[in-house]
Amino acid sequence: MSTDNDPVAVVTGAAGGIGAAVVRCLARDGFRLALVDRPGPALDALAAELESAGRPTLAVAADVRDPAATEAAAERVTAHFGGFDALVTCAGIGRIDPIGETTDEVWTDTLATNLTGTFWWCRSAVPRLKARGGGVIVAVSSTTALVGLPGRTAYAAAKAGVLGLARTLAVECAADRIRVVAVCPGATRTDLVRQGYARAADPAAAERAHAALQPIGRLSEPDEIAETIAFACSPRAATITGATLVVDGGYTAGGTSWNT
């Protein structure tokens, strides 16, 4: 049973693998939801699923690369629900290209979606969270921000930028009771990684090799990442701010050695 006192969360990239899992976790935890993504059937289907489960939901088709569309979306959520209490920025794209094959377009689009889109949403969210007396922003980065992996210069630069943005905003907004947390997923079974396998000579072999590289021997599932994000959004994380939470099956804890 939902009430007008239930907190409201905005999730960008809500129709994708990790974003949709976050939406379902936050709905379970009592949030009303604003789902932001590119227009499409996945966005509409998820909104219909939540509504039919009794969760007040607003689907907003908006491109995170567009600052005017972002501000208009934040205003629409505010008008619809009276404000919001949490922002989770999941929208992201990623390609694997050696630097010589990283076109101007790929660089610009990767930075615009993953980093600048996060900034536009944070800038639109902060005054609205202040108006609620505080809130939380969870910015999804990546383990690619923490370790160098070939072919990911644009993606890594964007995701490392997200870490700096989140850390700095956490300090800037702490007195306003706004927490800002970065989450770095490791390899997670979503369309984003499947698109990478599809470009490999043998996609099934690429998927097996990817799993074997993880100390836990498998990729994370989207809901395993989402549980950490939902925790970061909850009052149980009341003193976690400016932190980077890594959820990667041990990938960044380990390395390879001559005797393994």
Ligand X SMILES: NC(=O)c1ccc[n+]([C@@H]2O[C@H](COP(=O)([O-])OP(=O)(O)OC[C@H]3O[C@@H](n4cnc5c(N)ncnc54)[C@H](O)[C@@H]3O)[C@@H](O)[C@H]2O)c1
**Minimum distance of ligand X from residue 207's CB (angstroms):** 12
Q: Cβ distance 221 to 248 under 8 Å?
A: no
Which residue's CB is nearer to ligand X, number 92 or number 161? 92
Q: Cβ distance 88 to 29 under 8 Å?
A: no
Active site annotation includes 155: yes
Alpha carbons within 13 A on the beta-carbon side of 207: 14
- Closest residue to ligand X, judged by C-beta, is 16
Which residue's CB is nearer to ligand X, number 64 or number 136? 64
Start-to-end C-alpha separation, the chain: 53
Which residue's CB is nearer to ligand X, number 20 or number 126? 20
The token pair at 183 is 């989450």
Which residue's CB is nearer to ligand X, number 15 or number 126? 15
Tracing tokens 């794209």 back to the chain, one arrives at: 93
Give the CA distances from residue 165 to residues 230, 233, 248, in Å, rounded to whole numbers and listed in that order.
20, 18, 21
**Minimum distance of ligand X from residue 28's CB (angstroms):** 18
- Percentages helix, strand, coil for the chain, rounded to the nearest 5? 50, 15, 35
Instruction: Decide: helix, strand or coil at residue 40.
Output: coil
**Minimum distance of ligand X from residue 35's CB (angstroms):** 10
* SS3 assignment for 54-65: CCCEEEEECCCC
**Minimum distance of ligand X from residue 113's CB (angstroms):** 5
Annotated catalytic residue, options 31, 81, 120, 155 = 155
**Minimum distance of ligand X from residue 100's CB (angstroms):** 23
List own/partner pairs for 224-228 with CB under 8 A and 24 or more apart: 224/188, 225/18, 225/21, 225/22, 225/183, 225/185, 225/188, 226/18, 226/21, 226/22, 226/24, 226/25, 227/25, 228/183
Instruction: Decide: helix, strand or coil at residue 180.
Output: strand
Which residue's CB is nearer to ligand X, number 142 or number 241? 142
Binding residues for ligand X, rule: CB under 6 A, are 13, 15-19, 37-38, 63-65, 90-94, 113-114, 140, 142, 185, 187-188, 190-193
**Minimum distance of ligand X from residue 3's CB (angstroms):** 29
The residue type of 243 is: A
Which residue's CB is nearer to ligand X, number 56 or number 196? 196
- Residues annotated as part of the active site: 155
